[in-house]
Amino acid sequence: MRLPAGRPPHAGWCGDHPYGQPMIESYTSAHVLQCALTLTSLIEEANHQVTLTSFTVQDPRREPSPQWMAWETYRIQNEPDTSRPILAYIHENMVQPILEDHRQLPSSDRRSVSAVLFGPPGTSKTTIVRAVASGLKWPVVMLSPGSFIQSGLDSIEAQAEAVFRRLQALQRAVVLFDECDELFRKRDPTPHTEQTRGIAAFVTASMLPKLQQLHDRGRVVFFICTNKVESLDPAVTRPGRFDHLIGVGPPDEGARRRIISTLVPPPGPAYWQDTIDALVKSTERFVYSDLKLAVHELLRSEPTSTDEARGAVKIVVDRLAPSLAITADDMKSFIAEQSSHSYPFTRGGGINASP
């Protein structure tokens, strides 16, 4: 219904009972509004469902995560950095704001949309993402390099376009770009061939606006997990595309002590505390699975005194060290990456809280 010029409203809706009397009704117009809002939600819901089926998805609502991965439990029991807790940081800055939001959506204004998790291999970066999803009760969309190159390298841009178009249709999902470093690689000249550098620069450049759009839309949370943050283009990690840059290192001393304590059957012999202390101090690059193996081997050696136990610790650590997932070089590189950022990183993990 449109009315001639005069007092507003000039356009609106009315029922079909006021025959021949041009008028606009607030009641009917309010129902148009409700109907359109509902339709929007239904369409988004349907688009979300259809789109999800086109991705590799882990949905905690359909396939419940193990209890240890439930976010509340996980963030308390698996904090890798006891002096500067990164899981608590993720909770306060991403999970909690979303749960408190009346729409249960992330917000680019509140910087709860995206994060880069970087750190050596085996430090549970992917598991952290899955635990975050369990806390939000959202599905995790797993994207790997294969998601972008399945039609061949020639079609990478078209494929990326299609992937991001589908990502834009999602809502309330966690998107994980796992091992996708090549898509976001630094565009600076490198010792590689000109041709390789040219392709990398092209791919990275095409990804930037897509990431920006996904971030600004504020309907999904997304993470990049990478072993080397320095390999990413600075434009990727710039605030506005990623809200947080979080270093995930192997467990620090406090975390190792907690892990080892849970692996040792209580009560141990009197000298056992000294043994745990020795193990905690000598397992710097050990992640959870390494510590589990170390404790298992230590218990198998059945030491009968403090000296024997300390000797056994040294033997076990020396034997396992060469096969650790995190090499000495990885660790050096991680520490260097941490220190290259202006924000003070801590030993076991770090946070670059961009202003």
Partner 1 sequence: MSPPPDRGSRVTSAAATPLLQDGAFLAALCSEAATTVLSLWDDKRSTFWRSTEHRDKNEKTAPEDALYPTVTFTCTDALARLALERPEWLAEQQRSVVLRRIAPALAEHSPGTFKSSLRETEYTNSTYVCALAQVHAAASLLAKPVADKVVERVREGLQRIVEHVTGTGSAAGPRRRVHPFISYHLLRAIHQSAVVSRDVELNREVTTVAGDEAELLRNTAIELLARRQMGLLAPAGAVALGLCSSALARGTTSESLPVVLAGLEVALAAQDETGCWPLGRVVSEGKEEGGGRLELSTFEIGWARAPPISAQRRCRHASLDSFAPEGTQLRH
Which spans of this chain sit near partner 1 (rule: CB under 8 A)?
1-3, 7-9, 11-43, 45-47, 49-50, 102-103
Q: Are 241 and 212 contacting, i.e. CB atoms less than 8 angstroms apart?
A: yes
Looking at residue 78, the DSSP 8-state letter turns out to be: -
Beta strands 221-226; 140-143: pairing state: unpaired
Residue 225 near residue 178, CB atoms below 8 Å: yes
Q: How far apart are CA 14 and CA 326, in angstroms?
A: 69
Cβ pair 295, 279 in contact under 8 A: yes
CB of 46 to partner 1, least distance (A): 4
| Nearer to partner 1 (CB atom), residue 29 or residue 206 | 29
Q: Tell me the closest approach of the beta carbon of residue 17 to partner 1, in angstroms.
A: 5
Tokens standing for residue 312: 């056994």
How many CB atoms sit inside 10 A of residue 326's CB? 21
Q: Which is nearer to partner 1, 41 or 83 (CB)?
A: 41
* C-beta of 61 vs 300, nearer to partner 1: 61
Vertex 335: Cα angle to 331 and 339 (nearest 5)? 170
- The sign one gets for the Cα dihedral 341, 126, 44, 30 is negative
* CB closer to partner 1, 20 vs 355: 20
Shortest Cβ 19–partner 1 spacing (Å): 6
Q: Shortest Cβ distance from residue 170 to partner 1 (Å)?
A: 14
CA atoms in the 13 A half-sphere facing the CB of 305: 2
The least CB distance from residue 47 to partner 1, in Å, is 7
Least distance (Å) between residue 347 CB and partner 1? 38
CA dist 125 and 116 (Å) reads 10
Looking up tokens 């000294």 gives 274
Nearer to partner 1, 32 or 336 (CB): 32
Closer residue to partner 1, CB minimum distance, 14 or 331: 14
